[in-house]
Amino acid sequence: MSAVFEQIFQVGFLAAIIRIATPLAFATLGEMFSERAGVLNLGIEGIMLLCAMTGFTATSLSGSLWLGVLVAVLTGMLMGALHALFTVALGLSQHVCGIGVTLFSSGLAYFLYRRIFGQQSVPPSIKGFQTLPIPVFSDIPVLGPAVFNQFALVYMAILAIPLAAFILYRTPWGLSVRMVGENPRAADSAGVIVIATRFQAVILGGALMGLAGAFLSMAQFNAFTFGVVSGRGWVAIALVVFGRWDPWRSAGAALLFAFVDALQLRMQASGLGHIPYEAFLMLPFIFTIVAMAFMSRNAVAPSALLKPFRREER
C-alpha cells in the first residue's frame, strides 16, 4: 500500500516539475533567441503578463482556447516588434527600453483587464486546457503519466526545445541570428541584413513569451490575476544566463529550477519544512549571479549583446 502511495507521490511530483517548467521553458527560449541576436529583452516580465491577459480575455470572450493562445502569441510578437523598434531600429539602450516595455505592458494588462472585467470579488475564470494523454506512451510506468499525460502546451514546450536548437544551430537563419549577435559588422559584410534578423529574432522571442503567458493564465491557473507572472520573466532572464545562451542548457536550467520550486511547494504543503520557502525561490537568482562571476572569464555571452548596430558607423 505504501509503495503505491509512494509511486503516486513520485508521479505527481514529476508531473508538477514538468508543469512548472513549461512556462519557464517557453520564456527562456524566447529570451534566448532575442539575446542570441544581441538584444536583451527586459520587457519579458511585462510581455508575459500582457499575453496572459490577452489570451485569457480572448478565450473568455470566444470560448476557444486555441484562439486565446493565438491572441497571446500575436500579442507577444507585437510587443517584441515594439521592443525591436526601439532597440534595433532606433538603437536606444536595451535595458532602459526593456524596463519601459515591462512597465508599459504590465500597466496596459492591468488597465485593459479592469476595463473589460471590472472589479469582481472572485476573479472570472475559464475552463482551461485539460490534460491530453498520449496513447501508449502514457501507459509507461512513472514517466508515462508524468510526461505523457499533460496539457497540449506542455508537449509544445517539449518539442520547442529541439526545434529551437535545430533552428539556431542547423538553419541559415539561425546562423544569421548567431552572427548578428556575435559580430554584426561581419554579418553585414557577409550580406546578412542585421536589422531585419534582429527584428525577426526578437519577434520570435516575443511569440514564445506569449506562449509562456498563455500557459499561465489558460492551463496553470485558468484565470488572470495580477500576480500571475510574479517574477517568472526575471527567472527566465536568469535561466538564459545560467543556461549559457544554449537551448538545451537553458531548458535544462528551467527544469532544474522547476524541480527546486516543486520541492519547495511540497515542503510547504507537508508542513515539515523548517527552511523558509523563499530560500528556494531565491536560489536561481543567487546561482545565476555566482555563475556569471565564473563564466565571465570565458565570455560565453553573445559579444554584441546590448550593442545597437548602425550601419553608417564604421
- Least Cα distance to 146 among 21, 257, 13 occurs for 13
* Binding of residue 152 to other proteins (CB under 8 A): no
> Could you tell me how many residues of this chain bind other proteins (CB under 8 A)?
47
Phi, psi of 133 (to 5 degrees): -65, 135
Is 159 a binding residue for other proteins by CB under 8 A? The answer is no
**From 141, 172, 191, 278, residue interacting with other proteins (rule: CB under 8 A):** 278
Closest CA to 256 of 26, 25, 45: 25
Q: Nearest-CA neighbor of 237 among 5, 77, 40?
A: 40
DSSP state of 311: T
Residues 237-276 as x/- pattern, contact with other proteins by CB under 8 A: xx--x----------------------------------x
Overall size of the chain counted in residues = 314
Element (H, E) at 149: strand 149-150
- Planar angle of CA 175, 253, 173, nearest 5 degrees: 10
196 binds other proteins (CB under 8 A): no
> Residue 40 CB, nearest distance to other proteins (Å)?
7
| Closest CB to other proteins among residues 80, 174 | 80
The whole-angstrom separation of Cα 221 and Cα 218 is 6
Q: Which triple of cell numbers denotes residue 295? A: 563564466
Per CB under 8 A, the segment of 19-27, 157-165, 184-192, 289-297 that binds other proteins is 289-297
Per-residue x/- marks for other proteins, 211-240, CB under 8 A?
A: --------------------x--xx-xx--
Residues that bind other proteins (CB under 8 A): 40, 42, 46, 86, 90, 92-93, 95-97, 99-108, 110-111, 114-115, 231, 234-235, 237-238, 241, 276, 278-279, 281-282, 285-286, 288-289, 292-294, 296-297, 301, 305-306
